[in-house]
Structure 1
Amino acid sequence: MTFVGNFKRAFGVVAVIVALAAAGCASNKLDTSALNPDPPSKMFSDADAMMSKGNFDDAAKQFEAVDREHPYSPEARKSIVMAAYAYYRAGKAPEAIASAERYVALHPGTKEAPMAHHIIAMAYFDDLKTANRDQTPARKALEQFKILRSRFPDSEYSRDADNKIRICMDNLAAQEMEVGRYYLNQHNYVAAINRFKTVVSDYQTTAHVEEALARLVEAYMALGVVSEAQNAAAILGHNYPDSKWYKDSYALLQSGGVGPRDDTGSWLTKAWKSVPKFGLGSG
Protein backbone atom coordinates (compact mmCIF):
# COMPACT_ATOMS: atom_id res chain seq x y z
CA MET A 1 0.00 0.00 0.00
CA THR A 2 1.30 3.45 -0.86
CA PHE A 3 2.15 6.15 1.61
CA VAL A 4 -0.89 8.13 0.51
CA GLY A 5 -3.16 5.12 1.03
CA ASN A 6 -1.79 4.49 4.52
CA PHE A 7 -2.24 8.14 5.42
CA LYS A 8 -5.86 8.14 4.27
CA ARG A 9 -6.59 4.99 6.20
CA ALA A 10 -5.01 6.36 9.36
CA PHE A 11 -6.83 9.67 8.99
CA GLY A 12 -10.15 7.85 8.59
CA VAL A 13 -9.66 5.91 11.84
CA VAL A 14 -8.76 9.10 13.70
CA ALA A 15 -11.82 10.84 12.29
CA VAL A 16 -14.06 8.04 13.50
CA ILE A 17 -12.52 8.20 16.99
CA VAL A 18 -12.95 11.96 17.13
CA ALA A 19 -16.56 11.70 15.97
CA LEU A 20 -17.33 9.06 18.59
CA ALA A 21 -15.68 11.13 21.28
CA ALA A 22 -17.65 14.18 20.24
CA ALA A 23 -20.88 12.20 20.28
CA GLY A 24 -20.01 10.88 23.71
CA CYS A 25 -19.40 14.39 24.99
CA ALA A 26 -22.69 15.60 23.55
CA SER A 27 -24.47 12.65 25.10
CA ASN A 28 -22.88 13.36 28.45
CA LYS A 29 -23.95 16.99 28.23
CA LEU A 30 -27.53 15.94 27.48
CA ASP A 31 -27.53 13.41 30.32
CA THR A 32 -26.10 15.96 32.71
CA SER A 33 -28.74 18.47 31.64
CA ALA A 34 -31.52 15.90 32.13
CA LEU A 35 -30.27 14.95 35.57
CA ASN A 36 -29.75 18.52 36.68
CA PRO A 37 -32.72 20.72 35.77
CA ASP A 38 -33.42 24.03 37.42
CA PRO A 39 -33.29 23.95 41.21
CA PRO A 40 -36.66 23.15 42.85
CA SER A 41 -37.00 26.60 44.34
CA LYS A 42 -36.79 28.20 40.89
CA MET A 43 -39.16 25.66 39.33
CA PHE A 44 -41.68 26.27 42.11
CA SER A 45 -41.30 30.02 41.73
CA ASP A 46 -41.83 29.75 37.97
CA ALA A 47 -45.00 27.72 38.52
CA ASP A 48 -46.24 30.25 41.04
CA ALA A 49 -45.64 33.04 38.53
CA MET A 50 -47.68 31.13 35.94
CA MET A 51 -50.50 30.91 38.46
CA SER A 52 -50.38 34.66 39.01
CA LYS A 53 -50.75 35.21 35.28
CA GLY A 54 -53.70 32.85 35.04
CA ASN A 55 -51.79 30.15 33.16
CA PHE A 56 -53.22 27.46 35.41
CA ASP A 57 -52.72 24.46 33.13
CA ASP A 58 -49.05 25.29 32.55
CA ALA A 59 -48.61 25.98 36.25
CA ALA A 60 -50.03 22.56 37.13
CA LYS A 61 -47.57 20.84 34.82
CA GLN A 62 -44.69 22.85 36.25
CA PHE A 63 -45.67 21.96 39.82
CA GLU A 64 -45.81 18.32 38.78
CA ALA A 65 -42.32 18.69 37.30
CA VAL A 66 -40.99 19.89 40.66
CA ASP A 67 -42.24 16.72 42.33
CA ARG A 68 -41.03 14.55 39.49
CA GLU A 69 -37.54 16.05 39.15
CA HIS A 70 -36.89 16.78 42.84
CA PRO A 71 -39.02 14.30 44.80
CA TYR A 72 -37.01 14.72 48.01
CA SER A 73 -36.85 18.50 48.03
CA PRO A 74 -38.82 20.64 50.50
CA GLU A 75 -40.79 22.06 47.57
CA ALA A 76 -41.89 18.66 46.25
CA ARG A 77 -44.58 17.98 48.84
CA LYS A 78 -46.32 21.32 48.45
CA SER A 79 -46.02 21.08 44.67
CA ILE A 80 -48.43 18.13 44.67
CA VAL A 81 -51.24 20.06 46.31
CA MET A 82 -50.44 23.19 44.31
CA ALA A 83 -50.73 21.15 41.11
CA ALA A 84 -54.16 20.04 42.32
CA TYR A 85 -55.18 23.65 42.97
CA ALA A 86 -53.87 24.78 39.57
CA TYR A 87 -55.83 22.02 37.83
CA TYR A 88 -58.94 23.03 39.78
CA ARG A 89 -58.53 26.64 38.68
CA ALA A 90 -58.01 25.41 35.12
CA GLY A 91 -61.38 23.67 35.27
CA LYS A 92 -59.87 20.20 35.13
CA ALA A 93 -61.70 18.53 37.99
CA PRO A 94 -60.55 14.92 37.40
CA GLU A 95 -56.89 15.96 37.36
CA ALA A 96 -57.39 18.17 40.42
CA ILE A 97 -59.04 15.35 42.34
CA ALA A 98 -56.38 12.82 41.36
CA SER A 99 -53.54 15.11 42.44
CA ALA A 100 -55.22 16.10 45.71
CA GLU A 101 -56.08 12.47 46.53
CA ARG A 102 -52.44 11.55 45.93
CA TYR A 103 -51.42 14.26 48.36
CA VAL A 104 -53.72 13.12 51.19
CA ALA A 105 -52.64 9.52 50.63
CA LEU A 106 -48.95 10.43 50.95
CA HIS A 107 -49.17 13.29 53.48
CA PRO A 108 -52.42 12.97 55.46
CA GLY A 109 -51.38 14.90 58.55
CA THR A 110 -49.47 17.81 57.07
CA LYS A 111 -50.45 21.46 57.05
CA GLU A 112 -51.51 21.35 53.39
CA ALA A 113 -53.85 18.37 53.96
CA PRO A 114 -56.92 20.58 54.66
CA MET A 115 -56.30 22.39 51.37
CA ALA A 116 -56.13 19.07 49.52
CA HIS A 117 -59.41 17.86 51.05
CA HIS A 118 -60.99 21.22 50.22
CA ILE A 119 -59.92 20.93 46.58
CA ILE A 120 -61.45 17.45 46.32
CA ALA A 121 -64.64 18.62 48.02
CA MET A 122 -65.04 21.69 45.83
CA ALA A 123 -64.30 19.80 42.62
CA TYR A 124 -67.20 17.48 43.42
CA PHE A 125 -69.38 20.25 44.85
CA ASP A 126 -69.12 22.23 41.61
CA ASP A 127 -70.57 19.20 39.83
CA LEU A 128 -73.74 18.84 41.94
CA LYS A 129 -76.70 17.58 39.96
CA THR A 130 -80.45 18.09 40.23
CA ALA A 131 -82.49 15.63 42.29
CA ASN A 132 -83.43 13.45 39.33
CA ARG A 133 -79.79 12.78 38.37
CA ASP A 134 -76.86 10.84 39.80
CA GLN A 135 -75.87 12.18 43.23
CA THR A 136 -72.35 10.71 43.37
CA PRO A 137 -70.77 14.22 43.34
CA ALA A 138 -72.92 15.22 46.33
CA ARG A 139 -71.94 12.10 48.27
CA LYS A 140 -68.24 12.53 47.58
CA ALA A 141 -68.29 16.25 48.34
CA LEU A 142 -70.17 15.59 51.57
CA GLU A 143 -67.58 13.04 52.62
CA GLN A 144 -64.73 15.50 52.12
CA PHE A 145 -66.49 18.39 53.87
CA LYS A 146 -67.18 16.15 56.84
CA ILE A 147 -63.48 15.22 56.95
CA LEU A 148 -62.59 18.90 56.99
CA ARG A 149 -65.02 19.62 59.79
CA SER A 150 -64.02 16.64 61.95
CA ARG A 151 -60.26 16.42 61.40
CA PHE A 152 -59.37 20.04 60.73
CA PRO A 153 -61.96 22.12 62.62
CA ASP A 154 -59.61 25.09 62.96
CA SER A 155 -58.63 25.20 59.30
CA GLU A 156 -59.66 28.14 57.16
CA TYR A 157 -61.15 25.61 54.75
CA SER A 158 -63.54 24.34 57.42
CA ARG A 159 -65.24 27.67 57.99
CA ASP A 160 -67.92 27.25 55.35
CA ALA A 161 -68.04 23.45 55.54
CA ASP A 162 -71.32 23.41 57.51
CA ASN A 163 -73.14 25.35 54.81
CA LYS A 164 -71.76 23.14 52.05
CA ILE A 165 -72.69 20.04 54.07
CA ARG A 166 -76.27 21.27 54.31
CA ILE A 167 -76.44 21.83 50.57
CA CYS A 168 -75.08 18.37 49.81
CA MET A 169 -77.45 16.75 52.28
CA ASP A 170 -80.36 18.68 50.81
CA ASN A 171 -79.48 17.36 47.35
CA LEU A 172 -79.30 13.79 48.62
CA ALA A 173 -82.57 14.13 50.53
CA ALA A 174 -84.25 15.64 47.47
CA GLN A 175 -83.32 12.62 45.40
CA GLU A 176 -84.66 10.22 48.04
CA MET A 177 -87.92 12.18 48.06
CA GLU A 178 -88.09 12.13 44.27
CA VAL A 179 -87.78 8.35 44.17
CA GLY A 180 -90.06 7.89 47.18
CA ARG A 181 -92.85 9.92 45.57
CA TYR A 182 -92.51 7.82 42.41
CA TYR A 183 -92.95 4.59 44.36
CA LEU A 184 -95.84 6.09 46.31
CA ASN A 185 -97.62 7.01 43.08
CA GLN A 186 -97.03 3.47 41.84
CA HIS A 187 -98.57 2.11 45.07
CA ASN A 188 -95.29 0.42 45.92
CA TYR A 189 -95.60 1.48 49.53
CA VAL A 190 -92.80 -0.57 51.02
CA ALA A 191 -90.25 0.85 48.57
CA ALA A 192 -91.61 4.34 49.17
CA ILE A 193 -91.35 3.94 52.95
CA ASN A 194 -87.71 2.87 52.64
CA ARG A 195 -86.90 6.10 50.80
CA PHE A 196 -88.76 8.32 53.25
CA LYS A 197 -87.14 6.46 56.16
CA THR A 198 -83.73 7.38 54.74
CA VAL A 199 -84.66 11.07 54.73
CA VAL A 200 -85.93 10.95 58.30
CA SER A 201 -82.96 8.90 59.54
CA ASP A 202 -80.07 10.47 57.61
CA TYR A 203 -81.22 13.93 56.53
CA GLN A 204 -83.25 15.26 59.45
CA THR A 205 -81.72 18.72 59.23
CA THR A 206 -82.93 19.31 55.67
CA ALA A 207 -86.10 21.04 54.57
CA HIS A 208 -87.41 17.75 53.17
CA VAL A 209 -87.99 16.06 56.53
CA GLU A 210 -91.49 17.52 57.04
CA GLU A 211 -92.76 16.08 53.79
CA ALA A 212 -90.96 12.79 54.45
CA LEU A 213 -92.81 12.37 57.76
CA ALA A 214 -96.12 13.21 56.08
CA ARG A 215 -95.44 10.75 53.27
CA LEU A 216 -94.71 8.08 55.87
CA VAL A 217 -98.13 8.73 57.38
CA GLU A 218 -99.67 8.35 53.92
CA ALA A 219 -97.78 5.16 53.03
CA TYR A 220 -98.33 3.48 56.39
CA MET A 221 -102.06 4.26 56.30
CA ALA A 222 -102.24 2.77 52.81
CA LEU A 223 -100.64 -0.41 54.13
CA GLY A 224 -102.85 -0.49 57.20
CA VAL A 225 -99.92 -0.05 59.59
CA VAL A 226 -101.83 2.51 61.59
CA SER A 227 -99.57 2.66 64.66
CA GLU A 228 -96.56 3.74 62.58
CA ALA A 229 -98.70 6.30 60.76
CA GLN A 230 -99.88 7.70 64.09
CA ASN A 231 -96.33 7.90 65.42
CA ALA A 232 -95.01 9.66 62.29
CA ALA A 233 -97.82 12.19 62.58
CA ALA A 234 -97.09 12.72 66.28
CA ILE A 235 -93.42 13.47 65.59
CA LEU A 236 -94.43 15.79 62.76
CA GLY A 237 -96.87 17.60 65.00
CA HIS A 238 -94.45 17.95 67.91
CA ASN A 239 -91.72 19.49 65.76
CA TYR A 240 -93.66 21.27 63.03
CA PRO A 241 -97.09 22.07 64.52
CA ASP A 242 -97.81 24.82 61.98
CA SER A 243 -96.71 22.82 58.95
CA LYS A 244 -99.19 22.22 56.15
CA TRP A 245 -97.81 18.68 56.03
CA TYR A 246 -98.96 18.13 59.61
CA LYS A 247 -102.42 19.46 58.83
CA ASP A 248 -102.69 17.05 55.89
CA SER A 249 -101.43 14.14 57.97
CA TYR A 250 -103.81 14.93 60.82
CA ALA A 251 -106.75 15.05 58.41
CA LEU A 252 -105.72 11.71 56.90
CA LEU A 253 -105.61 10.06 60.32
CA GLN A 254 -108.95 11.58 61.26
CA SER A 255 -110.50 10.12 58.11
CA GLY A 256 -109.41 6.72 59.41
CA GLY A 257 -110.90 7.34 62.83
CA VAL A 258 -107.57 7.79 64.64
CA GLY A 259 -105.22 10.58 65.67
CA PRO A 260 -101.50 11.13 66.23
CA ARG A 261 -99.99 8.96 68.96
CA ASP A 262 -96.44 8.53 70.23
CA ASP A 263 -94.83 5.10 70.14
CA THR A 264 -91.54 5.04 72.06
CA GLY A 265 -90.68 1.61 70.68
CA SER A 266 -90.99 2.61 67.02
CA TRP A 267 -87.95 2.69 64.74
CA LEU A 268 -88.97 6.23 63.83
CA THR A 269 -88.88 7.50 67.41
CA LYS A 270 -85.46 5.93 67.97
CA ALA A 271 -84.09 7.32 64.69
CA TRP A 272 -85.48 10.76 65.41
CA LYS A 273 -83.88 10.92 68.86
CA SER A 274 -80.51 9.64 67.67
CA VAL A 275 -79.63 12.62 65.48
CA PRO A 276 -79.02 16.13 66.87
CA LYS A 277 -81.29 18.76 65.35
CA PHE A 278 -79.83 22.01 64.02
CA GLY A 279 -82.30 24.78 63.30
CA LEU A 280 -85.22 22.41 63.66
CA GLY A 281 -88.40 23.93 62.41
CA SER A 282 -86.66 26.72 60.52
CA GLY A 283 -86.94 25.13 57.12
Structure 2
Amino acid sequence: MHIFVKGAAIAFFSLAITACSSNPDDGFTGKESADVLYSDARTAMETGNFAKAARTLEQLDSRFPFGAYKDQVQLDLIYAYYKQDSTADALANIDKFLKLNPTHPDIDYVIYMRGLVNMQADSYFLHDLLNIDRTDRDPQNAQEAFKDFNRLLKSYPNSKYAPDAQKRMQFLKDRLASYSVKVAEYYIKIDAWSAAAVRGQTIVETFSDTPYVERALEIMVQAYGELGQNTLKQHALEVMKTNFPNNALVSQR
Protein backbone atom coordinates (compact mmCIF):
# COMPACT_ATOMS: atom_id res chain seq x y z
CA MET A 1 0.00 0.00 0.00
CA HIS A 2 2.76 2.42 0.91
CA ILE A 3 4.63 1.55 -2.30
CA PHE A 4 1.53 2.34 -4.36
CA VAL A 5 0.99 5.69 -2.64
CA LYS A 6 4.59 6.72 -3.13
CA GLY A 7 4.50 5.63 -6.75
CA ALA A 8 1.29 7.55 -7.31
CA ALA A 9 2.81 10.64 -5.70
CA ILE A 10 5.90 10.44 -7.92
CA ALA A 11 3.74 9.93 -10.99
CA PHE A 12 1.60 12.92 -10.02
CA PHE A 13 4.72 15.02 -9.46
CA SER A 14 6.08 14.02 -12.88
CA LEU A 15 2.82 14.98 -14.53
CA ALA A 16 2.83 18.32 -12.71
CA ILE A 17 6.35 19.06 -13.97
CA THR A 18 5.35 18.12 -17.52
CA ALA A 19 2.26 20.31 -17.34
CA CYS A 20 4.20 23.28 -16.00
CA SER A 21 6.99 22.96 -18.54
CA SER A 22 4.65 22.78 -21.53
CA ASN A 23 3.86 26.04 -23.24
CA PRO A 24 1.22 25.51 -25.92
CA ASP A 25 0.62 28.15 -28.56
CA ASP A 26 -2.17 30.35 -27.23
CA GLY A 27 -2.74 31.83 -30.65
CA PHE A 28 -1.64 35.39 -29.88
CA THR A 29 -1.36 37.42 -33.08
CA GLY A 30 -0.26 40.67 -31.52
CA LYS A 31 -3.36 42.36 -32.88
CA GLU A 32 -5.84 41.51 -30.15
CA SER A 33 -7.41 44.46 -28.34
CA ALA A 34 -7.05 44.90 -24.59
CA ASP A 35 -10.73 43.97 -24.20
CA VAL A 36 -10.28 40.70 -26.08
CA LEU A 37 -7.16 39.73 -24.15
CA TYR A 38 -8.73 40.50 -20.81
CA SER A 39 -11.88 38.59 -21.72
CA ASP A 40 -9.75 35.58 -22.68
CA ALA A 41 -7.81 35.85 -19.43
CA ARG A 42 -10.97 35.99 -17.34
CA THR A 43 -12.41 32.98 -19.15
CA ALA A 44 -9.22 31.04 -18.46
CA MET A 45 -9.36 32.06 -14.79
CA GLU A 46 -12.99 31.03 -14.44
CA THR A 47 -12.34 27.62 -16.00
CA GLY A 48 -9.30 27.01 -13.78
CA ASN A 49 -6.71 27.28 -16.55
CA PHE A 50 -4.41 29.55 -14.55
CA ALA A 51 -1.35 28.87 -16.70
CA LYS A 52 -3.15 30.19 -19.79
CA ALA A 53 -4.62 33.06 -17.76
CA ALA A 54 -1.16 34.10 -16.61
CA ARG A 55 0.25 34.00 -20.15
CA THR A 56 -2.66 36.05 -21.46
CA LEU A 57 -2.38 38.58 -18.66
CA GLU A 58 1.37 38.86 -19.26
CA GLN A 59 0.61 39.63 -22.93
CA LEU A 60 -1.90 42.25 -21.86
CA ASP A 61 0.53 43.78 -19.39
CA SER A 62 3.30 43.87 -21.98
CA ARG A 63 1.23 45.40 -24.78
CA PHE A 64 -1.02 47.71 -22.75
CA PRO A 65 0.96 48.63 -19.61
CA PHE A 66 -0.99 51.85 -19.07
CA GLY A 67 -4.37 50.67 -20.30
CA ALA A 68 -7.69 50.64 -18.52
CA TYR A 69 -7.01 47.18 -17.11
CA LYS A 70 -3.52 47.86 -15.75
CA ASP A 71 -4.33 47.51 -12.03
CA GLN A 72 -6.76 44.62 -12.48
CA VAL A 73 -4.22 42.78 -14.62
CA GLN A 74 -1.71 42.92 -11.79
CA LEU A 75 -4.26 41.75 -9.24
CA ASP A 76 -5.31 38.86 -11.47
CA LEU A 77 -1.69 37.95 -12.20
CA ILE A 78 -1.00 37.71 -8.47
CA TYR A 79 -3.85 35.24 -8.09
CA ALA A 80 -2.93 33.26 -11.21
CA TYR A 81 0.68 32.92 -10.03
CA TYR A 82 -0.53 31.88 -6.59
CA LYS A 83 -2.76 29.17 -8.06
CA GLN A 84 0.23 27.85 -10.03
CA ASP A 85 2.53 27.80 -7.01
CA SER A 86 4.76 30.40 -8.73
CA THR A 87 5.98 31.93 -5.49
CA ALA A 88 8.74 34.14 -6.91
CA ASP A 89 6.49 35.63 -9.62
CA ALA A 90 3.62 36.18 -7.19
CA LEU A 91 5.80 37.90 -4.58
CA ALA A 92 7.49 40.06 -7.20
CA ASN A 93 4.12 41.28 -8.49
CA ILE A 94 2.78 41.78 -4.98
CA ASP A 95 5.75 43.84 -3.82
CA LYS A 96 5.69 45.89 -7.02
CA PHE A 97 1.97 46.58 -6.58
CA LEU A 98 2.38 47.57 -2.93
CA LYS A 99 5.18 49.96 -3.84
CA LEU A 100 3.36 51.60 -6.76
CA ASN A 101 -0.17 51.62 -5.34
CA PRO A 102 0.04 52.19 -1.56
CA THR A 103 -3.45 53.73 -1.40
CA HIS A 104 -5.24 51.37 -3.79
CA PRO A 105 -8.69 50.32 -2.48
CA ASP A 106 -7.70 46.65 -2.79
CA ILE A 107 -4.42 46.97 -0.90
CA ASP A 108 -5.78 44.82 1.94
CA TYR A 109 -6.35 42.02 -0.57
CA VAL A 110 -2.79 42.31 -1.86
CA ILE A 111 -1.33 42.09 1.66
CA TYR A 112 -3.60 39.12 2.35
CA MET A 113 -2.38 37.44 -0.84
CA ARG A 114 1.21 38.01 0.23
CA GLY A 115 0.45 36.04 3.37
CA LEU A 116 -1.20 33.26 1.38
CA VAL A 117 1.73 33.03 -1.04
CA ASN A 118 4.27 32.85 1.77
CA MET A 119 2.15 30.29 3.59
CA GLN A 120 1.91 28.25 0.41
CA ALA A 121 5.68 28.43 -0.03
CA ASP A 122 6.10 27.02 3.48
CA SER A 123 4.03 23.94 2.68
CA TYR A 124 5.31 20.83 0.91
CA PHE A 125 2.61 18.99 -1.01
CA LEU A 126 4.40 15.64 -1.17
CA HIS A 127 5.21 15.73 2.52
CA ASP A 128 1.55 16.29 3.32
CA LEU A 129 0.50 13.59 0.86
CA LEU A 130 2.85 11.03 2.37
CA ASN A 131 2.17 12.21 5.94
CA ILE A 132 5.82 13.14 6.49
CA ASP A 133 6.45 15.41 9.48
CA ARG A 134 8.72 18.23 8.33
CA THR A 135 7.98 20.88 10.92
CA ASP A 136 11.75 21.10 11.36
CA ARG A 137 12.17 22.77 7.96
CA ASP A 138 13.29 26.39 7.61
CA PRO A 139 10.39 28.55 8.85
CA GLN A 140 11.34 31.72 6.94
CA ASN A 141 8.23 31.71 4.72
CA ALA A 142 6.01 30.93 7.72
CA GLN A 143 7.53 33.89 9.56
CA GLU A 144 6.94 36.13 6.55
CA ALA A 145 3.34 34.94 6.26
CA PHE A 146 2.76 35.69 9.93
CA LYS A 147 4.12 39.21 9.42
CA ASP A 148 1.89 39.72 6.39
CA PHE A 149 -1.28 38.68 8.17
CA ASN A 150 -0.31 40.72 11.22
CA ARG A 151 0.21 43.76 8.99
CA LEU A 152 -3.24 43.22 7.50
CA LEU A 153 -4.89 43.02 10.92
CA LYS A 154 -3.11 46.11 12.22
CA SER A 155 -3.59 48.28 9.14
CA TYR A 156 -6.99 47.03 7.98
CA PRO A 157 -8.76 45.46 10.99
CA ASN A 158 -12.15 45.77 9.27
CA SER A 159 -11.04 44.08 6.06
CA LYS A 160 -13.18 41.17 4.92
CA TYR A 161 -9.96 39.15 4.83
CA ALA A 162 -9.13 39.87 8.50
CA PRO A 163 -11.06 36.94 10.06
CA ASP A 164 -9.35 34.38 7.85
CA ALA A 165 -5.97 36.04 8.39
CA GLN A 166 -6.46 35.75 12.14
CA LYS A 167 -7.18 32.02 11.88
CA ARG A 168 -4.12 31.51 9.70
CA MET A 169 -1.96 33.38 12.20
CA GLN A 170 -2.93 30.88 14.89
CA PHE A 171 -1.97 28.01 12.60
CA LEU A 172 1.35 29.73 11.89
CA LYS A 173 1.97 30.26 15.60
CA ASP A 174 1.60 26.52 16.12
CA ARG A 175 3.94 25.86 13.20
CA LEU A 176 6.61 28.26 14.51
CA ALA A 177 6.28 27.04 18.09
CA SER A 178 6.65 23.43 16.94
CA TYR A 179 9.78 24.37 15.01
CA SER A 180 11.23 26.11 18.06
CA VAL A 181 10.59 23.02 20.22
CA LYS A 182 12.51 20.88 17.74
CA VAL A 183 15.39 23.37 17.77
CA ALA A 184 15.43 23.37 21.59
CA GLU A 185 15.42 19.56 21.64
CA TYR A 186 18.37 19.56 19.27
CA TYR A 187 20.23 21.89 21.63
CA ILE A 188 19.55 19.42 24.43
CA LYS A 189 21.04 16.60 22.36
CA ILE A 190 24.29 18.53 21.94
CA ASP A 191 24.30 19.73 25.57
CA ALA A 192 23.80 23.37 24.56
CA TRP A 193 21.77 23.98 27.72
CA SER A 194 21.83 27.76 27.68
CA ALA A 195 20.56 27.89 24.10
CA ALA A 196 17.86 25.34 24.93
CA ALA A 197 16.69 27.41 27.92
CA VAL A 198 16.53 30.59 25.84
CA ARG A 199 14.57 28.84 23.10
CA GLY A 200 12.13 27.40 25.66
CA GLN A 201 11.61 30.82 27.22
CA THR A 202 10.98 32.33 23.79
CA ILE A 203 8.23 29.78 23.16
CA VAL A 204 6.56 30.57 26.49
CA GLU A 205 6.72 34.32 25.91
CA THR A 206 5.94 34.46 22.19
CA PHE A 207 3.65 31.49 21.62
CA SER A 208 1.79 31.32 24.93
CA ASP A 209 -1.48 30.36 23.22
CA THR A 210 -0.11 27.24 21.52
CA PRO A 211 -0.02 23.60 22.68
CA TYR A 212 3.77 23.72 22.89
CA VAL A 213 4.10 25.75 26.08
CA GLU A 214 4.09 22.70 28.33
CA ARG A 215 6.97 21.11 26.41
CA ALA A 216 8.84 24.43 26.46
CA LEU A 217 8.56 24.59 30.25
CA GLU A 218 9.86 21.02 30.52
CA ILE A 219 12.85 22.05 28.42
CA MET A 220 13.45 25.08 30.64
CA VAL A 221 13.31 23.00 33.83
CA GLN A 222 15.77 20.49 32.42
CA ALA A 223 18.11 23.12 31.00
CA TYR A 224 18.16 25.30 34.13
CA GLY A 225 18.80 22.19 36.21
CA GLU A 226 21.81 21.25 34.07
CA LEU A 227 23.08 24.83 34.28
CA GLY A 228 22.73 24.87 38.07
CA GLN A 229 20.36 27.84 37.93
CA ASN A 230 18.02 26.61 40.63
CA THR A 231 16.07 29.85 41.06
CA LEU A 232 15.12 29.90 37.38
CA LYS A 233 14.35 26.18 37.49
CA GLN A 234 11.99 26.65 40.45
CA HIS A 235 10.29 29.57 38.73
CA ALA A 236 9.69 27.42 35.62
CA LEU A 237 8.30 24.66 37.85
CA GLU A 238 5.92 27.11 39.54
CA VAL A 239 4.63 28.23 36.13
CA MET A 240 4.26 24.58 35.20
CA LYS A 241 2.35 23.83 38.41
CA THR A 242 -0.06 26.70 37.80
CA ASN A 243 -0.77 25.87 34.18
CA PHE A 244 -0.12 22.13 33.92
CA PRO A 245 -0.66 20.67 37.39
CA ASN A 246 -0.78 17.09 36.08
CA ASN A 247 2.64 17.25 34.44
CA ALA A 248 5.02 14.56 35.70
CA LEU A 249 7.68 17.13 36.66
CA VAL A 250 5.24 18.77 39.07
CA SER A 251 4.19 15.51 40.70
CA GLN A 252 7.86 14.53 41.19
CA ARG A 253 8.55 17.52 43.42
Tell me if both proteins adopt one fold, taking TM over 0.5 as the criterion.
yes
1:234 aligned residue: 238
| Other structure's SS at 1:74 match | coil
Give the AA of the match of 1:133.
R
State the distance in 2 between where 1:61 and 1:153 align. 34
User: Relative to structure 1, is the Cα distance of residues 127 and 121 closer, same or farther in structure 2, using a 3 angstrom cutoff?
Assistant: same
8 A Cα contact 1:56 1:90, kept in partner: yes
Q: Letter of the aligned partner of 1:101 in structure 2? A: D
User: Residue 125 of structure 1 aligns to a residue in which SS?
Assistant: helix
Deviations 1:15-50 (Å, cap 9, x if unpaired)?
A: xxxxxxxxxxxxxxxxxx97xx54434432221122
- Among the aligned pairs, what percent are the same residue? 26
1:216 to 213, 220, 235: 220
Could you tell me which of 98, 120, 128 is aligned with 1:126? Answer: 120
Structure number with larger C-alpha Rg: 1
SS of residue paired to 2:135 = coil
Please report the RMSD computed on the Cα atoms of aligned residues, expressed in angstroms.
Answer: 2.1
Gapped regions of structure 1 (runs ≥ 5): 1-32, 255-283
CA contact (8 A) 1:233 1:250 kept: no
Distance in 1, Cα, partners of 2:107 & 2:55: 20
Deviations 1:40-83 (A, max 9, x none): 34432221122122221221122233333333333101211111
1:65 aligns with 2:62: no
SS at match of 2:194: helix
Alignment of 1:1-283 (within 5 A): 38-128=32-122, 130-242=134-246, 244=247, 247-249=248-250, 251=252, 254=253
1:96 partner letter: A
Deviates more, 1:216-225 or 1:114-123: 114-123
Looking at structure 1, the residues matched to 142 and 250 of structure 2 have their Cα atoms a distance apart, in angstroms, of 31
User: How far apart in 2 are the matches of 1:69 and 1:157?
Assistant: 32
Distance (Å, rounded) in 1 between the aligned partners of 2:210 and 2:204: 9
Shift of 1:218: 1.5
- Following TM superposition, the consecutive aligned residue runs of length 4 or more in structure 1 with deviations greater than 4 angstroms are none
2:89 partner amino acid? E
| CA distance in structure 1 between the aligned counterparts of 2:173 and 2:103, rounded to whole angstroms | 27
Q: Structure 2-normalised TM-score? A: 0.77
Cα offset for 1:228?
0.7
2 CA distance for matches of 1:65 and 1:222?
Answer: 64
What residue identity is the alignment partner of 1:235?
V
How many pairs align?
A: 215
Alignment partner, residue 13 of structure 1: none
SS in structure 1 opposite 2:232?
helix
**1:217, 1:249 within 8 Å by CA — same for their partners in 2?**
no
Could you tell me which amino acid in structure 1 is paired with residue 39 of structure 2?
S
Q: Per the alignment, in what secondary structure is the counterpart of residue 210 of structure 1?
A: helix
C-alpha separation in 2, matches of 1:233 and 1:74 = 64
Displacement of 1:212 = 0.6
Task: Give TM-score, length-normalised by structure 1.
Answer: 0.69
Name stretches of at least 5 consecutive residues in structure 2 with no aligned partner.
1-28, 124-133
